Structure formats: C-alpha cells, structure tokens
Structure 1
C-alpha cells in the first residue's frame, strides 16, 4: 500500500522540499487531533472557511509526523520535515485519490441521489459480501473530502467497491466522478435535500447524473424527467412500479410489518419478502435487487438474502452507562476504516481517562488476518486504549497481539462473564459486526431510564458552529456558552466537542457548572459569568476565570487572591452599557481603575458588556449607543491601566446584526443549538435537539367521555387516544396541552388533549395508524422549539432549558 500511496502523491503537481527522498508513507490524514498520526502519515493541510491546518504542522512534527502536503511551509517548520507544496491542498487530495483509484481495476458501484445512499450501500455490502471482498465508504463519507478518504482505503485484496457521492451545488460531482470512476451507477431517490444549491429539480438531476458519465450501466427508477437527462448512449437498467417498459417491473403489497414484492424481469417472475413497509425502505431494497439481478444472482439467493435485510444505524451514539460509565454505541458494523473513525470519535467524546474497547472480529479488510490484527493493535496503542475486550473466534486467535486484552469466542460467552468485568468510571466504545448482536451488550451497559430521550446531533452543532465562525473577521476569537446544562442539551458532551473544534473559551453561568466541566477533563479556559463571592475559592482552585461586575465583588476577589499569593490570575471585567443587569457603570470606572492600578494578583483577561436589543433591529439606535459606550469605557480602562485585554460585546444575534463590532471575541449562545430569530438565518442552521418518546398505551373512548384531570377534554365523537410517558416534570409546559400543541406520530400531527400531567400527556390519534411502542417526536424538525415558543408566548431558550435532566440525553454523530 505504501508504494501505491507514494506513486500517487508523486503524480500530483507539487514542489517537493525536504531532506529525505526515501519516503515511507502508509496512511493519509487531514485531522491534526487524531491520535493515529505518526511517522508514516502523509498529512494534507486543508484550508477551510473557518480553519487552516497549517497552524498545526509544528505540533504534528513534534509527535513524529514527517510528510505534509501544504500551500506554504510555516516559517518555524522549514527544514524540519518533508513538504509537497501545492496550489490548493483539497485539490491535491482529490488528485491524489484519483491517481490512487486508477491503480486498481475491479468493479466499482457509485451511488448518488438525495436520499437512501448510505442505506443502499450498507445493504449491498451485506448482500454481496459472501461473494466479494468489498471496500466501501465508511458511514456517510460522501463529500468532497469524504470521497477521497474513502477511495484511499482500497487495497490489493479488494475486488468490489461501493462508494457514495453527495453534492450540494454545481461542479462538485465532476470532481467526485474522477475519484470514484464508477463502473456501475445507482441513482437513488431524488428529493428536496440540499435544494438550495441548485436552480431547480432538473438542474439537480443533471448534476447528479455526472457521476455516471463513464459508467458501464445506470440503475434507476424509471422516470420521465430523469430520462431526458440520460445520455442516449448510456446503458440503463431501470425498474418501475408503473411503467411496464422498464427492464424490471415491480408490484408490492404489505402485510403486518413486511412488504411482498413481485419482480418481473424478462421471462423471470418471482416474489421477494422484505422486513419493511415504509416506501423509502422499499425503494432502497429494490435498488439492491436490481444490482443482484445485474450480477446474475439466482432467484433463490436473492429471496433468501433480501429477507434478511435489517435497519441501518448510521449514527455513533453517546449514552450514559452503568456505574458512572459513558457508552459509545457503534454496534452495527466492524471494518477497519470505520474502526479508525470510531476511535477518533472516542477520543473527541471521552468522558473518563480510562478507555475500553469492546471489539468483534473484523470483516472485509482486504488484509490477511495477521496483517489486519497487527494494524488494529497499532491503532489501539496509538489511541491509548486501556483495556480491549475481543469477541469472536478470529480475534481470540490473535489475542496476544493486544496488551491488557481478554477475549471471548462469542457474545453469549461475554454476557455470561459480564459480572466479572467490573465496568466503572470509564468510556467504553462498543464496536461490532451485526452478526455478533452487540446491541445486547449495549443494553447491559446502558443506564436504565424511561423511554423519553433528547437526541443531540453533534454534526448539527459542528455545522452551526462553523456557520457562525464563517461570519467572523480574521483573528476574532469565539467564546461558546454552555451554561444551563448546554441550553438543556447536555454540558460535558458539547463542551468536549467544542474543545475538539478548538474554540477559544467556554462560558458558564455559575461556578458549579465550570467545576463540573473541569472535573470531567475539559481543558479549555472557562469564564464564569455570574460568580457569587462565596464561590471565589472554588473558582481559584479549579482554575476558572470569574467575571467581575462590581467593586464589592472585585474587593472580595482581590482579598482572597492576596491571601493565596496569586499572581496575574485571569479575571474579566463586565461593563454595564445599558442592559442594567450586571456591570460597572460609567460613574464607577474611576474607582475600578484605582483599585486595579498596580495590582499584580490579577490580570484583566477581557473587558465585556452585554447588548439588550441585538436581536431586534427596531432598537438599532439603542444598540449602537451601547457599542459606543462600550468603546468609550473599555478604551479608558485600557489607556489608564496600560493593558490590552480581549474585548467582546456581541452575542449570537449581535454576530449577525452588528458585524462591525466583533472586537477581539464574540460570544455564541443559542445559535449553536440551531435557533435564530432571523428567518433567513434560521434556514441555514441545523436542528440540534430532538425530543422523543413512545406510545405507552392506545385506547378508544366513546362520545361524551373525558380525558385527563378536570375533564378538560370531552370527546364529541368516538376517539382513539394515545398516552405518551412525558409530562411537565420532564419540562413540557402545561400551556402546551388542551389542543394548543401537538406531537408527531408516524409523520402525522397528533394534537394534545386534556391537561398535561406530571409524567404523561395524551394525544388524539383517531386518524393515525399507530400502536403501542411507536415513536413520538415531541419537538425537533416539527414542531420546532421556535414554533412552540411562539405558541406559548415565550422564547426558545425557555423551551430548551426546561427539559428535565431525568430525560436521558443521547448524543450521536451521523
């Protein structure tokens, strides 16, 4: 593999500057934070709207990385490593991957579409893996960066590839086509995802089809609009529910939780049973059938394998575990590439220093078992895993390759010994192939709580962070507010992600929030915005940084600082410019200066103020008056004290509405969690939290019967009622009851009837097909917290922060 990598990088237009031409390169990296970087890594220093990896090259050299693809060599790094200097590092990565792909000659399936790409890819891997050694995109690595990283994982033992390609605007697919070079194309469902990047649906279809420009065949659902964009010379293999001119005609019927498909292909006619009923899954399953038919599988094999399809879990989930453990659930796949991704995720989300990996046999690596488990051992060592638990006959045979490892032949044997393993105070990554049924292990380790959960999308948080960072001027720092349990979304997990993204500061309201984060291992500087004087000793002990907003508070802190012989301890001075909540006013500035002048026990790290109307442009004049006063008072402090601290006054709305006043730092709050009061800006943010529950019971009541306390709902006709185990003790406002609010069940609105109880609410499901155990969405994409806030005459902050901590938080990454 290293020779192919070396040939591929040497074919990229670049100027080589280095001391060692005898390169050994065996891995490609783009993330400086990965513990997997080492002497044989080739690091591409990508430059994005919000980050430039060149600034981390010095640190990478310090840990042994010696080979870099760069646009320029940082001054302090000249002569210390090997550099391939290029015009654009992303373009170089894509060219490198295209060169690498050209060194292999076997069938490649390329998938694109608006929906279903990852599911079809995973199902095809399952269906074809008994007969092929498959390389596929890990997770949903389908972007301009994800695709080249996926293709680079090919090795000599693979004989079939399955790669997905996703685009959001023009000209992107042409680049991905050169990298994937699919021989077989699959166009999945075309929907509304990423519509904003295209002129119209037709434009989107035309762009998607560019992936198949050189494919030998295109598999798709026959459609008049799509047909007009397909090159007449391209060989097509089409299917349809309606058009009998398609190559394969399919009819369907549903029964219980299954769908029966009747497939007509030429003279063949046979039935297939799949364990799904929803149309999306049915269409994805038919795409898989089409590939099996194209590969000339017999009817019996197709029938047997399709019946075994399963729901695809595309998320890495973080869950609370027993005995103060943190669980990372990746229990549905086990391949080498996804293991690398999962280990990076473990490092970014670890809550405890002790790290345990529960790992099944790894399949389809394209390597001999000896080489594979040697590489796995190296991965585990580089990621500093404390304990390895292997499950499977193959990994058991290679147990000696791992330090501090215990193995079991199967999951049942592990479960029988579970009580002897003493899981406590550790972060546990559970990574296993589906056949090992690791969901049973997750169930054993997961903390038992009720069925209502708040799911937190970490990808959405990253997206929203980067959206606001893109609005900042160069060198403007960012403080992110994680107070109030991360606006109800969870404190530590979000703080850990923000630390991974290298934000500059975290902000909390009270000392105990900051102490909790520091105790959990967060190293970022944390500012305490509302410190009580009684908390000053604890703030100093845990290296938190207090906001000082009054002379009384300043004198109290200085007294303790002197007693502890502190030197230059960081503090933050809050100015009141019109909010009239906390802060030094104009008439106290002279006393503030007199108190701080010459004092060496503290250091003014920043000067800040808070805007009262940054979200309401009707008060633009008042907002500017606050900014002007802040400029005046902060300049006076800086001049009189001869200091140059950071200055910051803008919150989330201020970042967007008063961009000329970003100063040295901004404070991002509710925007991180996907909420904006600007309609256009809201469209560009992603939903972070989805509150889910289940139906506990379904009953029918007659006309005239009532529901709930006080008989506030009386049926005027026979009505079907579903009870949901969530109530005002979980944070749902009682004002949301009695027909004001609704939940989503099976994509339909179910309005709340009667009063919301402490632990339950009831909804009308008369016109909705549903059953006990069905999923219920309380808020998320619909209803949004913004919509709920409007109906309840409050603000989204209150909706989010009201969700009780008895509601389990589940963090996931797509």
Structure 2
C-alpha cells in the first residue's frame, strides 16, 4: 500500500492522531512503535473505539478487513501521505521558523489572518518531523490559508520539512543561540534556519524578511519576490511603542497595543501585520487581532497573583532569548526578582553561556536572583542556586519572595512553572 492508493480513505477520516487516548469516530490512527511500547497492539481496540483506519508497522497486527493496514514505517507513510495531501492543496501555505518567537509569531499571524480567512495552523508545538505532517493532514477543504511552524535542532531538518510542507511564503523570526549542540555552533544555526529561505528561493516563492536583521538582508539580496518591514524604505513601515510593560506597534497614524511584554515581541507583531497587509487586511482588522490575542502558553505570558505581577516564559530558553527577557524585565517599575533556569542543548558552550547570562543578570537592577538547574549551579556561587524546581519549591514553602514583579524563564525541561503555586 502507498500513500496515493490510501488517499481516498484518508479523505473520509475526521482527523489524524498518533495518540490512542484521543481516538474519536472516523479517525485515522497511526500506531507508532517506541523503544518500550508498540501502539500496534492497540489497533483492534482503536477500531472498536470508532477509528476508520489504523496504520501499523508490524505485519502480525494488520487486518485489512478491519482497515488495519501494514506499512514498513509509520513515520515515512505519515510523511508521504502529508506530502501527497499538500500536493492537492491550492491554498497559500506560510512556512515559519527561527530560533526564538516561532510559536508566538505563529499564533499572532493566525489571529490576524483569521480576521478575514479560515486559517489552519500548527497547534501547540507540533513543529517537527511528525508534527508538520500532522498539521498538513489537518487542513480541510474549508481552510483558505495554512500557517506551518517548523522547528529544528540540526542541519537539513528544515530542508526536509519544506519538502513536505512546500510553503508558498516564509519568514524566519531570527537567528539565535539555540540548539548550539545539534547545529554545531551559531553559524550552524544560521545555515540550518536559512534552509527555509533557500527552499523559497529555489522554488520562486515569497519571502518576508526583517530589514533590521543584517543576516536576513544578506540572504535575500537580489531576490524577488520578497516583502520587507523594519526600515523607512521597507514595504511595510511600523514603529514601536509600549505602555504598562506591554509592547505595541504604530502604523501611519494608528496604533495597536498587544498583551505581550518585551520589545523582542515587536518584530513578531510586525511580521504578523505584514502578512495581514499582504493578504489584503485593513489595519483596523490587524489592530483588532493584536489587541484580542492573549498569550496562554507560557511564552511571554503576564499574570497577576496575590498582588504580584509574573512574567511566565518557561516553555523555552536559550542565551539569546534569556538575555532579551532579562533586559526587558529590568525596565519594569517596582521591586523585581528573577528566577532563571538552565538553558539546554548548548553542548560545549553551556558553561560559558550560563556564566554570561548570570553576569548580565548581576549587572542589572534586580532585587533578587535565583537560579535553578545543574548548569547554573556550576557558575552561580553567590545568588541563591537550586538543583531543580522541586528543590526550589521546598525552599519557597517556608521562604517568601518580597518583590512585586517576578520573572520565570527557563528551558522546558526545567518545568519552572511548577513553582508558581508556592509563591505567595
């Protein structure tokens, strides 16, 4: 069986899932095999739960009379099916990658374009070799635009995802010090993320770029079609403003204030607004979307609790985003404490980068600095240092943080948001 012959049955499916706990009537279930568990053992049960079809990679579990189909690799078949489905689509597909701000930018682009169109987009963090195919397979006939986030931690991964998603337009948020271990250093990050631009150029597709980013400017020099923002000579010209620690953008004589903190989110707003203009939205429509969007995904999320203001940014962290978060938080008025956790996947650069971030934090006007994780513990000999979030939680049960403003920033693996319930 191949993707083309299976495709008519796929079109009858309600949705595609790889999670046996989320199977609904007429779903297509991909039974992935893991090191310790083979989901193919759940194939019969999935059909009983209402699945229309199941894909397995163990022959002994196949039963075509029950629509349980064998393929040599569930992953390859998922990708082939997504590639074939993408080839049938006639809607614009926006590809999005970058070191920082991918998910927030994707969410705002979706919010903006949804003011006029039926938009499908990457949910959560489904941005890898499994998530991108799942996103593509979720696109239905009623959708008019798709926004596909692409994550990567090594060379050639974005190139492979582009071959599946075939974006018509694309944008790179930035090039930062993320996944240095996998990419082989900062220049490797630039090369790996630029695979999106290379795909778009090789296929004569449209690039959106930030003219304030010299790397992006160099990558798209002498190329068309492209759309620019950032300078007075750009296609779309914005200016930044802030109010009550929130960032906004101005366009001509109008302005839109977001619910996001940090001037690093300004370019994310510019990118979303630029796509909005490209797809013929008015600034009033863009303004409505920006002002209604409220982050709830532990990315630049502001919240109030017991009279304190928290900036919760615990979904991801690398040296670039950590530095920007600290500098932005330093501008808050009132007492300020920072709780920063390890930045993961930095390889040989880890100790140097953690020391650099700690030096930066110490140079700013924070009332208290708390670090969490083994990497910070290696370099932190003065401020409060904890091995993990559980150890800090135990400390916070009997010790309070007096500051009115508190920043929580760390990589996902630190699970720093767990300490929130212990801060009173």
TM range (shorter): 0.5 to 0.7
Is 1:100 matched up with 2:85?
yes
Q: Choose 1 or 2 for highest CA Rg.
A: 1
SS at match of 1:803: helix
Deviations 1:30-81 (A, max 9, x none): 123x1x3256332222245665433444654565656322232236x66774
| Partner in structure 2 of residue 554 of structure 1 | none
Question: Are 2:212 and 1:217 equivalent residues in the alignment?
Answer: no
Aligned mates of 1:95, 1:295 — CA distance in 2: 30
Give the conservation status (yes or no) of the 8 Å contact 2:99–2:178: yes
Residue 155 of structure 2 aligns to a residue whose secondary structure is: coil
Mapped partners of 1:236, 1:105: distance in 2: 21
Q: Is the 8 A contact 2:172 2:209 kept in 1?
A: yes
Cα deviation for residue 236 of structure 1 reads 0.8
Post-superposition Cα deviations, 1:443-501, rounded to whole Å, max 9, x if no partner, equal 9xxxx879699x997x89xxxxxxxxxxxxxxxxxxxxxxxxxxxxxxxxxxxxxxxxx
1:803 aligns with 2:375: no
- Aligned equivalent of 1:42: 28
Name the structure 1 match of 2:178: 193
**In the TM superposition, what whole-angstrom CA distance separates every residue of 1:194-241 from its partner, at most 9, and x where no partner exists?**
232224244224323245353631111124433444485541111224
Which gives a bigger RCO, structure 1 or 2 (Cα 8 Å, sep 6+)?
2
TM-score (norm 2): 0.67
- The answer to whether the aligner puts 1:137 opposite 2:130 as a matched pair is no
* Among 250, 270, 285, the residue aligned to 2:269: 285
1:236 aligns with 2:226: yes
User: Are the structure 2 counterparts of residues 71 and 273 from structure 1 closer, same or farther at C-alpha, using a change threshold of 3 Å?
Assistant: closer
| Partner of residue 68 from structure 1, selected from 36, 51, 54 | 54
* Aligned match of 1:749: 362
Q: Is the 8 A contact 1:45 1:70 kept in 2?
A: yes
Separation in 1 of the partners of 2:244 and 2:306? 30
- 1:577 is aligned to none
In structure 2, the residue matched to 1:313 is 296
What is the distance in 1 between the residues matched to 2:387 and 2:244? 43
Q: 1:782 to 1:230 in 2, by over 3 A?
A: farther
- Please state how far the C-alpha of 1:255 moved relative to its aligned partner: 5.6
What is the deviation of 1:120?
1.7
Deviates more, 1:83-92 or 1:780-789: 780-789
* Length-normalised TM-score, structure 1: 0.38
| Residues 260 and 789 (structure 1), Cα distance of their counterparts in 2 relative to 1, 3 Å cut | closer
Does the 8 Å CA contact 1:135/1:158 hold for their aligned counterparts? Answer: yes
Give runs of aligned pairs for residues 12-91 of structure 1, distance below 5 A.
25-32=13-20, 34=21, 36-37=22-23, 40-48=26-34, 51-57=37-43, 60=46, 63=49, 65=51, 67-74=53-60, 81-91=66-76
Q: Given that residues 46 and 52 in structure 1 are in contact (C-alpha distance below 8 angstroms), is that contact kept between their aligned partners in structure 2?
A: yes
1:153 to 130, 138, 148: 138
Distance, in Å, in 2 between the alignment partners of 1:807 and 1:146 is: 41
* SS state at 2:59 partner: coil
The CA distance in 2 between the partners of 1:793 and 1:314, in whole Å, is: 26
User: Aligned partners of 1:251, 1:239: CA distance in 2, in Å?
Assistant: 10
Matches of residues 593-672 of structure 1 in structure 2 within 5 Å? none
Alpha-carbon distance in structure 2 between the residues aligned to 1:98 and 1:154: 12
Cα deviation, residue 109, structure 1: 2.0
Corresponding position of 2:5: 10
1:295 has 2:279 as partner: yes
Quote the RMSD (CA, aligned, Å). 4.8
- Is contact 1:187–1:218 with CA below 8 Å preserved after alignment? no
Any conservation in 1 of the 2:337–2:366 contact (CA below 8 Å)? no
Superposed CA deviations along residues 526-575 of structure 1, whole A, max 9, x for unmatched, are xxxxxxxxxxxxxxxxxxxxxxxxxxxxxxxxxxxxxxxxxxxxxxxxxx
CA deviations 1:563-617 (Å, max 9, x no partner) are xxxxxxxxxxxxxxxxxxxxxxxxxxxxxxxxxxxxxxxxxxxxxxxxxxxxxxx
- The residue number in structure 1 matching 2:321 is none
Shift of 1:313: 1.8
For residues 794 and 301 of structure 1, what CA distance do their matches in structure 2 show? 46
Question: Cα–Cα, structure 1 residues 108 and 215, in superposed 2: closer, same or farther, change >3 Å?
Answer: farther
- In structure 1, how many angstroms separate the alpha carbons of the residues matched to 2:121 and 2:158? 18
Deviations 1:281-337 (A, max 9, x none): 1111111221122223445555x4366254422259xxxxxxxxxxxxxx99xxxxx
Write the distance in 2 (CA, Å) between the matches of 1:795 and 1:300: 48
Q: Is the 8 A contact 1:182 1:214 kept in 2?
A: no
Secondary structure in 1 aligned to 2:395? coil
Task: State the alpha-carbon separation in 2 of the partners of residues 158 and 102 from structure 1.
Answer: 15
| Distance in 1 between residues matched to 2:240 and 2:222, nearest whole Å | 30
Give the match for residue 365 of structure 2.
768
- Contact persistence 1:270–1:299 (CA under 8 A): no
* 1: CA distance, partners of 2:149 / 2:118: 17
> Partners in 2 of 1:91 and 1:145 — Cα distance?
10
Bigger mean CA deviation after superposition, 203-212 or 279-288: 203-212
- What are the residue-to-residue correspondences of 1:360-371 with 2, within 5 Å? none
**CA gap 1:65/1:285 in 2 versus in 1, 3 angstroms:** closer
How far off its partner does 1:139 sit?
1.9
Q: 1:810 to 1:49 in 2, by over 3 A?
A: same
- The answer on whether the counterparts of 2:247 and 2:265 sit within 8 Å (CA) in structure 1 is no
Write the distance in 2 (CA, Å) between the matches of 1:22 and 1:186.
Answer: 30
Which 5+ residue runs of structure 2 have no aligned equivalent? 319-328, 340-356, 401-415, 420-424
Whether the aligned pair in 2 keeps the contact of 1:69 and 1:84 (CA below 8 Å) is yes
Cα distance in 1 for partners of 2:38, 2:229 equals 46
Contact 1:123 1:309 in 2 (8 A): no
Q: 1:61 to 1:248 in 2, by over 3 A?
A: closer
Q: 1:63 to 1:255 in 2, by over 3 A?
A: closer
Secondary structure at 2:194's aligned position in 1?
A: helix
- Of 146, 168, 171, 1:183 maps to 168
Look up the match of 1:412. Answer: none
Give 1:177 deviation, angstroms: 1.8
Distance (Å, rounded) in 2 between the aligned partners of 1:95 and 1:186: 25
2:347 counterpart residue number: none
Residues 99, 245 of structure 1: CA spacing in aligned structure 2 closer, same or farther, 3 A cutoff? same
